[in-house]
Amino acid sequence: MSDDIKVDKVFDLKGLPCPMPVVKVSKGIKEVEIGQVIEALSTDPGALSDFPAWARTSGNEILKTEQEDDVIKFYIKRNV
Amino acid sequence: MDMQNIESQFTELKSQLDALSKKTPEDKCSMVVFSGDLDKVLAAFVIATGAVAMGMDAVMFFTFWGTSMLRDKAKSVGGKDIMSKMFGAMLPKGTSQTKLSQMNMGGMGTAMMKSLMKKKNVASLEQFLEMAEELGVRIFVCEMTMDLMGFKREEMIDYKNLEFCGVARFLEEAANSKVQLFI
């Protein structure tokens, strides 16, 4: 977990290929309040471009993206 | 400028805006699923479920070869003529009987692809259909194909947002969609 970001809910999407990461996150983000932050873990390389595209379209915000080995971590703030 | 003039201009502008907003396409993805091939229909479902994730509505219009897989394997209906029976027997009944458009190799290629999909965690057509239903993807079934191939409504799958319709109903949706695809 990143030091400066308070995470309200974690979604482990490791091993799931397209389109599951965005499908799960678009549903999952509704489980937190507006303004809260979720952390999504994905091993899908396509998620690197898919998550920003999803965020731009849906109006949510990716605060930070981290990559450790094969795992990509997204910190996403629910804006809508 | 006198007040009345401004008011009438405002009313006119407002009606123009209303007319314009009716013409603006909605955040919707409409596709024709013409193919009954496993790989192509899989792509259609990836796009449909992805569209919902992107905040769009998704409509899939199943026509011609695409229609066949929407039959429920567990259901059977009688009273069909010989041609309908033949079509019914030769075409895939249910998503599990669909084949790859390429490299089917007498079913071996399809079996290999299915096992590979499982290994790589790619959802199967059955899982996609379930997911699509849960996400509110609407499925339209072409009436003309149903009649042509002798399929009956009673033998089609149970799906929440399923509608039997014609091309006009699909075009009504497509005309209001930002994304339109033919698969």
Per-residue pLDDT tens digits for B132-175: 999 999 999 999 999 999 999 999 999 999 999 999 999 999 99
Q: Over chain A, what is the mean pLDDT?
A: 93
CB neighbour list of residue B85: distance below 8 Å, 6 or more residues apart: B150
Q: What is the DSSP letter of B81?
A: -
CATH class entry, domain B28-182? alpha beta
**Domain boundaries, given as residue ranges, for chain A:** 9-77
Interchain pair A20, B120: CB under 8 A? no
Interchain pair A18, B49: CB under 8 A? no
Cis? peptide before B25, omega within 30° of 0: no
For residue A59, the model assigns a pLDDT of 92
The residue count of chain B comes to 183
Chain A residues lying within 8 Å of B135, measured CB to CB: 23
Strands of chain B (E only): list them.
26-33, 57-62, 138-142, 162-165, 177-182
Chain B residues lying within 8 Å of A16, measured CB to CB: 121
CB neighbour list of residue B107: distance below 8 Å, 6 or more residues apart: B99
Give the C-alpha separation, B67 to B156, whole Å. 9
pLDDT tens digits, one per residue of A2-31: 568 899 999 999 999 999 999 999 999 999
Chain A residues lying within 8 Å of B123, measured CB to CB: 20
Chain B residues lying within 8 Å of A42, measured CB to CB: none
> Is the domain covering A9-77 a CATH 3.30.110.40 domain?
yes
For residue B3, the model assigns a pLDDT of 84
Q: Which of A14, A16, A26, A80 to probe the B interface (max B CBs under 10 A)?
A: A26
Cβ within 8 Å of A, B 111-130: 120-123
Reply yes or no on whether A5 is catalytic.
no
- At B160, list the tokens: 């929440």
Residue of B nearest to A15 (CA): B121
CB neighbour list of residue B39: distance below 8 Å, 6 or more residues apart: B100, B101, B102, B113
The stretch B37-60 carries a mean pLDDT of 97
Model confidence band, residue B21 (pLDDT cutoffs 50, 70, 90): confident
Interchain pair A58, B122: CB under 8 A? no
